[in-house]
A and B are shown apart, each in its own frame.
Chain A
Amino acid sequence: MDKSRQSLPLAGLKVIEVAQGVAGPHCGRILAAMGADVVKIEPPSGDWSRSIGPFLGEDENIESSATYQYNNSGKKSVLLDLSVPKGISTFTVLVSEADILIEDWDMSSRALNGIEKDRFTKLNSSLIEISLTPFGLSGPYSHFTSTPIIQLALGGYLYLTGLPGKEPLMLPGHQPDYLTGLNGNGAVQIALWERDQTGAGQFVEIAMMETLATLHQFTMEMETYEGFIRNRNGNLWQKESAFANYGITTIECVDGHICFGISTEDQWERLCMMIGKGEFLEDPQYATRSGRRSLATYLDSLLSEWVGERTRHEVMVEASEMWGLPTAPVLGISEVLEDAQFLHRGLFTEINHPISGKAHFPTFPFKTVDMIPDLSRAPLLGEHTSEVIHS
């Protein structure tokens, strides 16, 4: 281990990650980048995310999954068959010496493999065990099977995205997993804070459905405070309630779409000035937010006229610099990779892999000065089995 890694804040911590897919591994990726020694336990067929697209390079195989490589950066891969007694006993030894265990055993797999909830925290009282499952370890959905669209649906996210009356739309990729992985990392850090003082570990249960249910700005409050169903509104904001507003909208430019995020009164005033409609500020039709929202189609057409033949970038620069209005281009994947702001931040880093070659991966949304995250390639299946098991 090189010196800069040793100076990272989680250096010396042993993490056993038996979780597969995205949620648990994403949590483990953050811990590894901050210096922890993350040992990933994989079944003989490999983490299931090794088998899903998109893939890197030219071939589709278990060493070229983009999802696997992104979320398993900097870990050690140990092949261990937990369905045989020898595998379980080796695993138990590893966990008994670990600081953190990241697992995703739901009620069905716990029952199938006979794993009681307190099995490992009883064995190792300073262990922090993070349980990440779609629905948690109790309740009527705890035996449910799911994919991201089901998790988004039951967590209240799906209903809110899409055009009014039309099929609700999912967020791309594995968003419930990523949010739950981030929540898992928060849980690890909270539990470590307590353990660093008391020496005691803890069992922390996190459900994807509950993670999503806590990540709503005012969805439930529209019902509990005002009695409104919160609807989906395409690219516009609410029609009814205290949250009705105009100015969060998406307008077509010559080279794509630009998103406006006008939300405060002073921004509304500057929007009117920008599109040359200062008289709206005296007009009672526009006095209230719900009034403006009900005229959204007309206001969109005025904004569209103002945008005219400009590009997304030209609109962003003028609206932001001259008028102080929040805007941003709607970027495609390859455009995000080349965006000037993200390049300046160093948001992406190139990592080389012996089988699938070079690719650009996101680093982290935070910039730190005194602890630089260490990102290296993901392991090959079982690459570290003998190193970890026989040492």
Chain B
Amino acid sequence: MSAKRENAQGSLAGLRVLDLTRVWAGPLATRIYGDYGANIIKISDPRVPLINPNGLNSKLNRNKKNIGLRLDKTKGRNIFLELTSVSDIIIENFRPRVMRNLNITYETLARINPHIIMCSMPGFGLEGPYSEYPAFGTTAEALAGIPGLIGYDSSLPISTGVAYGDPVSGLNAVGILLTALRHRNITGTGQFIDIALAASPACNLGEFFAANSSNGYKPTINGNKSEHYSPHGAYKTRGEDQWISISITNGKSWKAFTEIIDNTILNAEDYCVFENRKQDEKLIDAHISDWFASKDAEEVMFQLQNRGISAGVVSNNRQLLSDPHLNERDFFVDMNEPLFGVKRYDGQSIRGNFKNKSDWETAEDVGESSKEILMELLGYTSDDCETLEKEGTVLFR
């Protein structure tokens, strides 16, 4: 039965989302909806181009229709209200005052469409002492306690290289907005949802907070060292800045590892016990670092994995793109960008009934679908469109 609709329109066909989001967290969430066939209307400021030669917005805004709309003009705001009346979800990630200044609040929108689900994704939430403060994915993760747990030692906290507040918030939005839609379908009313960028990463550290509040638990900050496994970390291999990660999880995998390395010191029977390895961790690390230094990361990964040892290449962007596993699984998607030619992007990690990849559309620049949205969805005439263009309310491309 599940095959019937499979890969035709996608599971979310029929759902309409107004997307006011910028940068990363919001566009990531609506990209998942778009891949699943939802009708995403991205509303962009006509004064700011969306498609840049760095690829970021092209990657995040595929499968979305774009209208270039000045929300600060009365007619532009009215168009937004008309779009609200025919949509299911509105999602935005401005600082709180922006939507207030535009007088586009949930209360206003709910009067027009009581079924609407609206989501704001500010840095710290809409209320509270920091609510008006600006934020960035990296500052958000700092408040959540993430870099405080990363470092070579406790003297210098290190931020993640990935602005972690954003992706975690994006994934949270995907789930909770659809849950709210289900609630709406049952009760008949929409609602407002506030997601704080800074709160999301904290919810991925639940065990740390629980243990700290219960008995004062504080983890030691010590690079990649582990309280459960040893050896554990990344080791340099052959080539420039090439590394392999390993994680020896039990005596059996240690034994298999020493059979491969065949080093008289590491072969000692005592080291089959975790506590003994942990005690001599530095010495053991020195020996295995020497051994890995001349190896090819990918070759040695397969060699270790074939013996049941947890090991993985520390992939950089180039290695990720050519990764044999991702490629064999047809993970990537090649899209023909009108301005840049064929570009390879990450595909959809949720492998259910998403829209057939061959039907995916490249990101539109500001205003590419303005005409279609105004005329087909809202019933505007071409004369209306001309006026809106002349007044600078709507950008048509």
Contact = CB atoms under 8 A, between A and B. Distances in A.
B219 to A, nearest CB: 7
Interface in A323-379: 324-337, 339-342, 344-345, 347-348, 350, 356-371
Contacts of A170: 150, 224
Given A138-B329, A190-B36, A198 B215 contact: no
Given A156-B315, A192-B182, A341 B198 contact: yes
Interface stretch (A94-102, A141-149, A278-286, A290-298): A141-149
Given A250-B159, A331-B148, A70 B234 contact: no
B200 interface: yes
Contact of A242 (B52, B202, B247, B324): B52
A223 B348 contact: no
Interface in B172-194: 172-176, 178-183, 185-187, 189, 191-194
B80 interface: no
A156 B331 CA distance: 14
Given A57-B215, A202-B353, A333-B218, A191 B208 contact: no
B315 A175 contact: no
A20 B236 CA distance: 32
Contacts of A55: 211, 215, 217
Interface stretch (A74-82, A85-93, A211-219, A383-391): A211-219
B74 to A, nearest CB: 26
Interface residues of B, number: 157
Given A326-B134, A328-B198, A230 B317 contact: yes
A7 to B, nearest CB: 8
Interface stretch (A39-47, A159-167, A301-309): A159-167
A158 B329 CA distance: 22
Closest 9 CB pairs of A and B: A261-B136, A160-B161, A221-B55, A70-B206, A189-B178, A344-B128, A54-B211, A172-B149, A204-B352
B317 A211 contact: no
Contact of A347 (B158, B164, B202, B207): B202
Interface string B209-234: 11111111111000110111100111
B325 A259 contact: no
A337 B198 contact: no
Interface string A212-241: 011111111111111001111111000001
Interface in A160-202: 160-163, 165-175, 178-179, 182-183, 185-194, 196-202
B215 A56 contact: yes
A248 B138 contact: yes
B321 A223 contact: yes
Contacts of B186: 9
A9 B182 contact: yes
Contacts of A263: 136
Contact of B199 (A34, A188, A329, A345): A345
A234 B158 contact: yes
B315 A153 contact: yes
Contacts of A201: 1-2
Contact of B329 (A8, A136, A160, A217): A136
B212 A337 contact: yes
B24 interface: yes
A96 to B, nearest CB: 15
Given A159-B316, A263-B136, A328-B143, A52 B56 contact: no
Given A150-B245, A210-B331, A359 B213 contact: yes
Contact of B326 (A166, A213, A248, A321): A213
Interface string A239-253: 001110000101000
B136 A248 contact: yes
Contacts of B365: none
Contact of A334 (B15, B212, B325): B212
B166 interface: yes
Interface string B291-332: 000000000000001001111111111111101111011010
A360 B183 contact: no
A104 B83 CA distance: 41
Given A153-B234, A217-B56, A220-B321, A330 B12 contact: no
B66 to A, nearest CB: 19
B178 A190 contact: yes
A207 interface: yes
A341 B150 contact: no
A348 B6 CA distance: 40
Contacts, number: 532
B209 A337 contact: yes
Contacts of B152: 162-163, 166-167, 169
B222 to A, nearest CB: 11
B124 interface: yes
B245 A204 contact: no
Contacts of B54: 218, 221, 225-226, 241-243
A337 B145 CA distance: 10
Contacts of A214: 346-349
6 contacts: A163-B158, A192-B178, A203-B2, A328-B198, A350-B213, A365-B195
A202 B11 contact: yes
Contact of A190 (B11, B137, B244): B11
Contacts of A196: 182, 185
Interface string A31-74: 00010000000000000000011111110000001110111000
Given A144-B312, A197-B14, A345-B199, 7 more contacts: A161-B160, A186-B175, A189-B179, A193-B178, A218-B54, A259-B139, A348-B209
B148 A332 contact: yes
Interface string B332-363: 00000000100111111111110000000000
A175 B312 contact: no
Given A125-B2, A160-B161, A234-B158, A368 B55 contact: no
Contacts of A197: 14
B204 A173 contact: yes
A381 B313 CA distance: 37
Contacts of A220: 59, 317, 320-321, 344-346
B310 to A, nearest CB: 5
B18 interface: no
B241 interface: yes
